[in-house]
Amino acid sequence: MTSTTGTQTAEAAAPATVHTVVDSPCGPLTLVAREDALVGLYMVDQRHRPAQETCGEPGDSPVFAAAEEQLAAYFAGTRTDFDDLPLAMSGTPFQRRVWAALRDIPYGETVSYGELAEVLGQPGASRAVGLANGKNPIGIIVPCHRVIGANGSMTGYGGGIPRKRWLLSFESGAQQPTLM
């Protein structure tokens, strides 16, 4: 759509953002999509969760069905990774490198912030890795919960330490009821 001046209107230029909420054993998850790609997966009371109005209107996207199916299989214990999901994560180049490295951490395993910094070729950047990890916009699917303190402690998690413990325990094979 163009205006009389021939420039694209802001409304026509901005892709529609929509969201849906799905239940999970660790509480409701808000999935956010833009242009058929997943741009967010947020938990209740998540630190760094964007304002609700930035999640768009409730709606549907082809990526929601695929994400819901893969999340259901993950929580059923039959899926250990998420693939073929179009993700579009907005962040700095460093944040995107950290988030890409998170996807390489195997299911059921953990690494420290320092180890992840070394993998990125920046061994002194464990704090920067921690900050980027905390701003991961697609939790669970991009498994930031698999990063722990150097001493094995459950330091920081945008979804809360109880949720991090639950996810790591779940991935270790411990049978447990839902967290929420």
CA-CA distance, 85 to 73, in Å (whole number)? 14
Look at residues 120, 137, 138 and name the one whose alpha carbon lies nearest to residue 129: 120
Catalytic member of 18, 144, 148, 168: 144
Look at residues 120, 168, 177, 178 and name the one whose alpha carbon lies nearest to residue 145: 168
Tokens of 127: 């704090």
CA-CA distance, 40 to 30, in Å (whole number)? 8
**144 labelled catalytic:** yes
List the catalytic residues: 144
